[in-house]
Structure 1
Amino acid sequence: MRKWLPLVTVLSGSFMLLVDVTVVNVALPAMASDLSASFSSLQWVVDVYALVLAALVLGAGSISDLIGHRRAYIGGLALFAASSLACGLAPNAEVLIAARIVQGIGAAGMFATVFALLNSNYSGRERGTAYGLWGAVAGTSAAIGPIVGGVLTEVVSWRWVFFVNLPVSAIAIALSFVVLRDVHAPAKGRVDVLGVLTFTAAASALTYGLIRSNEHGWSQPHSWIWFVAGPALLALFIVVELKVPQPMLDLGLMRNRSFVGVLLAAFFMSFSAFAAVTYTSIWLQSVRDMSPIQVGFTGLPLAVASFAASAVIGRFLHTARPGPLIAGGLVLVGVGGIVGGLLMHGPAGWLSLVPGNVLVGAGAGLATPTLSSAAMGSVPVERGGMAAGAVNTARQLGFALGIAVLGSVFSARAAHILSEHNVPGSAEASRALGGGQAPALLRAVPTDRRAALDSALEAASVGGVSWTLWVSGLTGVLCGLAVFYLVRPDRADEHEPAPGADPTGQPVARRPRLR
């Protein structure tokens, strides 16, 4: 049993940081009431954590290679615990958002070291099992987050959404000192500070521009400034990485077809599988009047399917080719989204989500652990933190940008339907609907008009959710086909063992083939 304690230690931190991406979704109404803040302003409690985690995890991976993976993991845990306490004690929305920023920094330090620590503590078939169980946790965390948040919010208080992290963090820190090994000595060199800053600025600008456009409309010039700044800062980041002697991201890896495919798959897995959950949760709670616990448990089929698929596939990771598994998982996720979009019409309820969620969960469970092992097999072992950071950056950017993009999709479809129902100010009403303010919209009109508006809001929300699922699904299918082409061996590799393993199934360190 002791041999699995390192895995338990890593899974504890991974579960906390990934659950905290979605755990607050169903708690937002309670937070808004308790802190006397608008619901839309508290949307940043969700968005800023995902954004900071996405923007910093790549830099954190580079830093962890320099200071040591275990040391970075423990530091991230400590910062995550302290900021979780600050979140739970927050007296207002501003303090809560600031604490979530710090929480995202701690989570980045933890997330960037996960795969390197698994590689340091396991090998061969045991490593495949460890990756499979990690994938099960990663694949189910986004779905379990609303369940945990709903139960804690309704039974105790929304503040316990954050307080619950404290005992788990304390146990994980203690175990890290006792059971975690870091077999790779810290690398010598300097932190690529300029690279970290330019990439963080680029990711932040693009995400903020999307979120601002969703809140205020695409016609606002202030929104487009961020769309110009984002690519410009990204170009500056590329220039920096080509000039510095020790870049946090080796751009030479972008010539590696398989590594590019893994990054693409990580981005669109989060986009296609989990970003729409934000809007289904808002619809069920604000329009369908379901409780936080009820809304949370609607994601249980997705969580169960994901966990089961990841647990089963883990035993095959040390021998199986990753391309077909990743591509097949993405296609399955896409089909699940399309099925959900087809079933969302008329008087649709939460049961309409179940068939699609089962397919999405199975696809996510199939692809997620395979993504991790494929990424780590693409780089030398001493650059494990960099590989983990790149994949997890793509994963979290997919979620953060997915929320923003699908928010615009939801609002566009909802505005069209509200306009058909002759609702005044349909564009503004659609954005309010997407922010969970359906009850406030109903209270703002005279009693004799509420029934008609309620019917319009019902139709608009169902239509908006349907379109988010359709976009998620089609994106997943197209990306799956692209990954099937990209993540495949060269002819010279056809008779070689799977990436990261020698003919006996033992891990080897090798540099990626440039494709």
Structure 2
Amino acid sequence: MFMLLVDVMIVQVALPTIQRSLGATFSDLEWVISGYALALAALILTSGTLADRFGRKRVFVIGLVVFTVASLLCGLANSAAFLIAARALQGVGGAALFATSLALIGQEYRGRRLVTAIAVWGSVTGGGVSMGPLVGGVLTTALGWRWIFFVNLPIGAVTLALTLMRVVNVRDPQAKRLDWAGLLTFSSGLFLLVFGLVRGNDDGWSSPTVLGAMVAAVILLIAFAAIEARQRYAMFDLQLFRKPAFTGVSIATFAIAAGMFAMLIYITLYLQNVLGYTPLEGGLRLLPATLLIFIVPLASRRFTERVPPGLPLGGGMLLVGAGLLLMRAMVGLNTDWTALLPGLLVVGFGVGFANPAIGQIALRVVPPQRSGMASGISNTFRVAGLSCGVAALGAIFQQSVASSLTTSIGAAHAGLSRVVVAAGPQAAAAAAHGQPGTPAAARAAFVSGLELLLVVGAVVVLVGAAATVMVRRRDFQARQAPALPQPEATPEPVRT
């Protein structure tokens, strides 16, 4: 899980190197990131269904093999198109790993051991995303960009051996058939939504391509909901959302991914492109927050055992929102990275509390035999939030930078916004062929855009925090009872 989540962010710090090595365009670079996240989000639910039907260990192993082979292909890529395709294949394998991770924990642990296991899972999931820039910086600086993918090979081999030796294959004897209609409508709808967000600034928000993609996305996602409502055994069981706790944690999961984890990309770019740090130096400056994301879940597990899960979830998200606003108050043209440190530390504490609570709630409000679906839905909201957050924040950021450049150096140079976003003020100055004032204007535009994003991210996270009031104690007390309508007495999960 750690390398799976690191791979969501690890590519970001290597993008300039990849661009030079493969001759990639800025659009290509966007799809190197989005292709992976889209495949993850689109297939997690289906992978959860397959895990319940054929066994969680079996699906996990298949996903691990696909992910590891795809990592090899990414490292061997000789063109941007090949790398994008290999990244999408990585996402296919990653979806199986995501969907089964919580379910495997739920089948192997009970009681206090389950709380501890979920605390470790929370450390890994939160720290994996946060460690991406640092790991990417170390590997890119020391060995080259291809090693950000090759590093997955030995880790994948060791994980495969341990899984085959130690994990039991468990499946749901009443698992449903694969929901093809749901798969196609959800995957297509999510892809078109992110496609429209990514292309909006380039093609124009009123262009037929963007409008058509957004309208089609809405239609397909509505159709998905209608299809799942009619399915007796849907891959996305809408009856789960009759429990306010499940609805609340799903909203919170989406919000923290879209508002905070997606924000890490732009904080990383600020450290490199504005403050001038190398990929490794920038990653090291995120390390204090990253360490807290790892340490807090383990250090606080005794506390979280004694309180309702909604308390650390809501409190953690309030801290994340406050940390983002604190960074907004401190960031500036002439500030050192230490000005960001208080906000980063508050965010680290918040994520450390919130992340394990998300896992606990997702598992504890459903019967054990539905844990595959619950894990799949929870992780779908997480990755969909990250994918949509990266696309939406990118659109807002680029629009803000373009507006600032238009005001400061004229509309003729507003097109430099993509260069500013991807490569920094100095690259923008080179692209403007020495236009006076361009570096200072580009730097100011970047900082102004980041300030706006920090406010937007904080608002999104705080909306998610408000949703945690829906997490009620009685939803957990009813877990052992048949919380959802069942056609007959539910047999025990089958171990094979």
The answer to whether TM tops 0.5 is yes
TM-score using structure 2 length: 0.93
**1:63-87 CA distance string (max 9 Å, x none):** 1111100101111100000000000
Quote the residue 2:23 is aligned against: 36
**Deviation digits for residues 373-406 of structure 1, max 9, x if unmatched?**
1111111111111101111000011111111111
Contact 2:54–2:171 (CA under 8 A) maintained in structure 1:
no
1:275-290 maps to which residues of 2 (within 5 A)? 275-290=262-277
Determine the C-alpha separation between the residues in 2 that align with 1:396 and 1:193.
21
Residue 71 of structure 2 aligns with which residue?
Answer: 84
Q: 1:169 aligns with which of 156, 163, 172?
A: 156
Decide whether the 8 Å contact of 1:131 with 1:314 is kept in 2.
no
The structural deviation recorded for 1:513 is 7.8
Q: How far, CA to CA, are the matches of 2:208 and 2:33 in structure 1?
A: 25
Conserved? CA contact 1:139–1:361, under 8 Å: no
User: Structure 2: how far apart are the matches of 1:189 and 1:263?
Assistant: 23
Does residue 415 of structure 2 align to residue 431 of structure 1? no
1:465 aligns with 2:460: no
1:240 to 227, 235, 254: 227
Q: Is the 8 A contact 2:201 2:399 kept in 1?
A: no
Contact preservation (8 Å) 2:36, 2:88: yes
Q: Does 1:394 align with 2:394?
A: no
CA-based RMSD? 1.9
State the distance in 2 between where 1:423 and 1:352 align.
Answer: 31
Mean CA deviation greater in 220-229 or 277-286? 277-286
Deviation at 1:181, TM superposition (A): 2.3
In structure 2, the CA distance between the partners of 1:414 and 1:307, relative to structure 1 (3 Å rule), is: same
State the alpha-carbon separation in 1 of the partners of residues 243 and 111 from structure 2.
24
Distance in 2 separating the partners of 1:383 and 1:473: 33
In structure 1, what is the Cα distance between the partners aligned to 2:8 and 2:316? 22
Q: Is the 8 A contact 1:52 1:101 kept in 2?
A: yes
Structure 1 SS opposite 2:232: coil
Cα deviation code 1:408-454 (max 9, x no counterpart): 2212322232223123335422233223354432113344x35x111
Name the structure 1 match of 2:494: none
SS at match of 1:113: helix
Answer whether contact 2:397 2:450 (CA < 8 A) is retained.
yes
1:295 match: 282
Name the CA distance, whole Å, in 2 between partners of 1:344 and 1:142.
22
> Contact 1:378–1:511 (CA<8 Å) still a contact in 2?
no
Cα distance in 2 between the residues matched to 1:379 and 1:303: 31
Report the Cα offset of residue 510 of structure 1. 4.1
Q: Residues 183-223 of structure 1: CA distance to partner in whole angstroms, max 9, x if unpaired?
A: 44554431112111111111111111111114433232311
Distance of 1:105 and 1:298 partners within structure 2: 32
Q: Match for residue 21 of structure 1?
A: 8
Match of 1:160 in 2: 147
Aligned residue in 2 for 1:60: 47
Q: Measure the CA separation in 2 of the matches of 1:325 and 1:122.
A: 21
**Following the alignment from structure 2 to structure 1, what is the Cα–Cα distance between the partners of residues 270 and 304?**
38
Distance 2:483 2:329 in 1: 42
Which residue matches 1:118?
A: 105
Tell whether 2:478 aligns with 1:482. no
Q: Percent identity?
A: 38
2:298 is the alignment partner of 1:311? yes
Distance, in Å, in 2 between the alignment partners of 1:409 and 1:377 is 37
Task: Give unpaired runs (5+ residues) of structure 1.
Answer: 1-13, 501-507
1:223 aligns with 2:207: no
For 1:37, the aligned partner's letter is A
Look up the match of 1:339: 326
User: 1:292 and 1:437 mapped to 2: Cα distance?
Assistant: 13
Higher mean C-alpha displacement, 48-57 vs 319-328: 319-328
Aligned residues: 485
Deviates more, 1:166-175 or 1:471-480: 471-480
Q: Identify the residue that residue 365 of structure 2 maps to in structure 1.
A: 378
1:482: how far off? 2.6
* Aligned counterparts of 1:28 and 1:409: Cα–Cα separation in 2: 20
Residue 251 (structure 2) pairs with residue 264 (structure 1): yes
Deviation for aligned residue 1:511: 4.2
CA distance in structure 1 between the aligned counterparts of 2:411 and 2:425, rounded to whole angstroms: 15
Secondary structure in structure 1 of the residue aligned to 2:124? helix
Do the aligned partners of residues 330 and 228 (structure 1) sit closer, same or farther apart at CA in structure 2, a change above 3 Å counting? same
Q: 1:315 to 1:71 in 2, by over 3 A?
A: farther
Change (3 A) 1:226 1:69: same
What amino acid does structure 2 have at the position aligned with 1:341? R
Structure 1: which amino acid aligns with 2:279?
Answer: P
| 1:318-337 map, 5 Å | 318-337=305-324
**C-alpha distance in structure 2 between counterparts of 1:143 and 1:371, whole Å:** 17
Measured after TM superposition, the shift of residue 269 of structure 1 is 1.0
Instruction: State how far apart, in whole Å, the 2-side matches of 1:301 and 1:161 are.
Output: 22
Q: Deviations over 1:309-339 (max 9, x none)?
A: 2112334444431112111111111001111
- Give me the whole-angstrom Cα distance separating, in 2, the residues matched to 1:305 and 1:465: 23
Provide closer, same or farther for how the CA distance between residues 200 and 155 of structure 1 changes in structure 2, counting only shifts above 3 A.
same
In the alignment, which residue of structure 2 is the partner of 1:503?
none
Displacement of 1:357? 1.3
Please give the alpha-carbon distance, in whole angstroms, between the structure 1 residues aligned to 2:226 and 2:371. Answer: 23
Q: Is the 8 A contact 2:416 2:431 kept in 1?
A: no
- Secondary structure (helix, strand or coil) at the match of 2:411 reads coil
Which amino acid letter does the alignment assign opposite residue 461 of structure 1? F
Using the TM superposition, give the Cα deviation of residue 360 of structure 1 relative to its aligned residue in structure 2, in angstroms.
Answer: 1.1
Quote how far apart the aligned CAs of 1:499 are.
Answer: 5.1
Inter-CA distance 147–36: structure 2 relative to 1 (3 Å threshold): same
Q: Which amino acid aligns with 1:274?
A: F
- Normalising by the residue count of structure 1, what TM-score does the alignment of the two structures yield? 0.90
Task: State the distance in 1 between where 2:171 and 2:49 align.
Answer: 14
Relative to structure 1, the CA distance from residue 248 to residue 428 in structure 2 (aligned partners, 3 Å threshold; closer, same or farther) is same
Amino acid at match of 1:54: A
- Contact 1:67-1:187 within 8 A present in 2 as well: no
Query: Residues of 2 paired with 1:175 and 1:48: CA distance?
Result: 29
**Cα gap change, 1:499/1:108 in structure 2, threshold over 3 Å: closer, same or farther?**
farther
Q: Distance in 2 between matches of 1:188 and 1:38?
A: 45
Distance 1:246 1:221, change over 3 A: same
Are 1:147 and 2:134 an aligned pair?
yes
Q: Does 1:453 align with 2:438?
A: yes
Aligned to 2:398: 411
